[in-house]
Structure 1
Amino acid sequence: MTTRLPILRVRTDYGDDYGGVVARDGLIICFFMHRSHGEVVHAVWRALQTYRRAIPHQALGWYTDHNGDYQPLDDKGEKFIQEELRDCRWPYRSSHTLEEHCNTVGGYNFEYEGYWRDGTRFMYDEDPTCAVSFTLPTEYLVEHGPKGVHALARELARELPFSFGYVSFALVAPHGLWFAGRKTVVELRDRYLGLDIYRLGATSRHIGTQARGAYWLTFLGLPLLGRLGGFEVLQRRLRFPDVSLETLPPLEGQRVLVTLGEWPEVIDTTKQERPSPQLLALGSLLEPFLYMERSGWFSFFADDVADTRRWIRRFCP
């Protein structure tokens, strides 16, 4: 069985004169690690090398410097990323992005938000958590199949001390660039319930050890897994033919991957599609542990937090 994923391109609400594509269809592989930057950065660096070996050569061609300007990822750029990411000694935050293109959104992107949890915090950071994401174009899923994506996600997870992670069909948009086309994004959000829309920087500031939602692939680590009741409770609550549960090395019993079906769910409401029972069951299980978004994402009014919270809980009872 295969699932046809829609081709999505989002441009700015202000016309092509103000920029090109700000979001496109793809997959996101994302992990949250409730540790300080210094404790996770070497694992993140190794995971980045794993990701780069899995994608086309030179698929990541650009990085952003300290001023937020795009620079080519040449030998000088490689040295910059290695020194600034792996050897960063900033007292508060380490933030880095590698992208496929500099003038439009491509399918291959890497984002990292690292925090020194024992250092100075900004006043709006309640529980900052190191976060990393790797994106893939939908074409990668078509070429390698869901098993290829599943294998890559597991290999990335091996390196990372995550509390929560996931893989989902998504609007790929580094830096949360989709916000420039939020009128179209809201339409897509309401049509495709399985479409993930993310802002890594915003979420990492306060997610702590909570969950972000229920997804095609959901990674659960400590302490969140313990709060859910452990592997045995997951087995009991997720008894569905299309659900698989597996413990992950090297810490079997402390890290679990929940897989909901062979392909990610799109859930096109215009076709009267509904979330699967297993997706709703996982959403119900995670609901008490979902984080509370502090800002409105989709409205033209920045304080419309309730709308964002409703969307995050769309698979909860």
Structure 2
Amino acid sequence: MRQKWTAAELPDLTGSTFIVTGATAGLGEVTTRELARAGARVVMAVRDEAKASRVVHGIGQTRGVIEVRQLDLSRLASVRRFAQDWTGPVDVLINNAGISLMPLQYTEDGFELQMATNYFGTFALTQALLPHLTDRVVSLSSQLHRTSRLRIDDLNYATHRYSPAAAYADSKLAVVLFANELQRRLSNAGSGVRSITAHPGIARTALVAHDPSIFGRVNSLGPLLNDVEHGALPTLFAATQDVPGGSYVGPDGLGGIKGFPVIGRASAAARDAGGAKVLWEETASLVSGVMPAA
């Protein structure tokens, strides 16, 4: 019988540096705690530094070190500032931060808020930190990427109807396409850095709790879903185990909804190399058009 991987099997991470975005709650908080317990230096890249400090206090003593730095992925000026202030190597960047099911609104950069936070900010941050990265990038997606009908020619919903749930799915498909294209570009450049996608299945977190629709009531399904501890396992597995670049890691249960981490397969749309290349080029154009100068 195949062994079920858990956080107890994390290697000694002493001397390694991890950046975890969106680390103040849910999956990000558990990821931060477990990496630090294994001896890592973990930098919590967060919007709310006071909340992050309370999380650090709650985690308590660990073998590693936890630091807090300000980062708002929905604002490219904040992404630029975070990257400019960074010095030294980063072993692993974990693109965990995300929001969901938000009404239509636009950021100061002119991007739809969910796409800005979940995708554009992740794209810009990863690009800016690549010179510092030594091991891998882990980007968080969702099984809901399978429902996306992403319009690469209209990433900000200027011409087609906006739906909060559809926009969330679109942002998560964009993340997988980005992660896969990043791996192709890294490989072509002869880099040893890996790009990996992880997803938590459906975990009981606060991500959708604010939404009054059926999506917001998903946490009531209880035992049918992953708890947050199990939901963080694919991220921890992808970030620390010998996983090939381009992998899609998630729970091993039926439909990838719950269970223990294994390497699975993203949707056919997410594996479209041509679409990923077009998305990358469109994103680079949009981001460079509003990214503050270095």
Structure number with larger C-alpha Rg = 1
Say yes or no: TM over 0.5. no
TM-score using structure 1 length:
0.28
Higher strand share: 1
Higher helix share: 2
TM-score using structure 2 length:
0.30
